[in-house]
Amino acid sequence: MQPIEQSEHIDEKDLDLYLKARLGDPAVSAIDAHLGGCRPCVDRLAERDRCLAYLAELGSDESPGGVEKRAYPRVAIDEPAALQILNPFSASKWDVRIVDVSRGGLRTHTPNPLTPDSLIKIQMRFSVSCGDVRYCIPAGNGFHAGVRLHDYFFR
Ligand SMILES: [Zn+2]
């Protein structure tokens, strides 16, 4: 590792806390401001996301081979949420509706199209989750996007 310029960028530890939504608003705002102008840190954030999701998957008690991974039922809901795109990074937040959820994912109605494979953060009333966009199709006066949520925690 190179210690040079390290202090000017976001700590790996803070990137983890940011993804896990364990930081207060001032820290999140500071990181948002940095990510808005620092492509390398956005790449590192995406890398930490993959790493944390992978570690959580390794630690989960699901049988190897991922048998029955999609067997969880979808539940229709209608919840407001704030959606932010983390990679490619944007500091703006969209007001969206969550239309259904399942254990590993959700479907959201958005005013604007989302690009498949983008990393996003979704803030609902009682939770904040990161995930990646699986698909996005026109629906009504907006779009429906399927999101696979990333679980950073051992189950
Ligand atoms: Zn940086």
Q: Note residues around ion ligand 1 (Cβ under 5 angstroms).
A: 9, 38, 41
Residue 67 lies in a domain: no
* Bridge partner list, 123: 82, 128
In sequence order, what DSSP letters do the residues of 73-140 get, joined into one string?
PPEEEEEEEEEEEEETEEEEEEEEEEEEEETTEEEEEESS---TT-EEEEE-SS-EEEEEEEEEEEET
Query: Measured in angstroms, how far is the CA atom of residue 88 from the centroid of ligand 1?
Result: 14
**pLDDT tens-digit profile of 111-125?**
999 999 999 999 998
Residue 68 lies in a domain: no
Q: Is the pLDDT of residue 20 over 70?
A: yes
Q: Is the pLDDT of residue 127 over 90?
A: no
Q: Show the CA angle centred on residue 144, arms to residues 141 and 147, nearest 5°.
A: 155
The number of distinct structural domains making up the chain is: 1
Query: Measured in angstroms, how far is the CA atom of residue 36 from the centroid of ligand 1?
Result: 9
Q: Which CATH number fits the domain that encloses residue 153? A: 2.40.10.220
**pLDDT tens-digit profile of 77-115?**
999 999 999 999 999 999 999 999 988 899 999 999 999
Q: Which of 30, 7, 24, 21 is nearest to 126 (CA)?
A: 21
Query: Measured in angstroms, how far is the CA atom of residue 134 from the centroid of ligand 1?
Result: 27
Query: Measured in angstroms, how far is the CA atom of residue 45 from the centroid of ligand 1?
Result: 10
Residue 98 lies in a domain: yes
Which of 29-33, 58-62, 112-116, 131-135 is the least confident region? Answer: 58-62
Query: Measured in angstroms, how far is the CA atom of residue 43 from the centroid of ligand 1?
Result: 9
Residue 115 lies in a domain: yes
Residue 28 lies in a domain: yes
pLDDT value at residue 151: 83
Name the residue range of residue 40's domain. 1-62+73-155
Query: Measured in angstroms, how far is the CA atom of residue 69 from the centroid of ligand 1?
Result: 36
Query: Measured in angstroms, how far is the CA atom of residue 61 from the centroid of ligand 1?
Result: 35
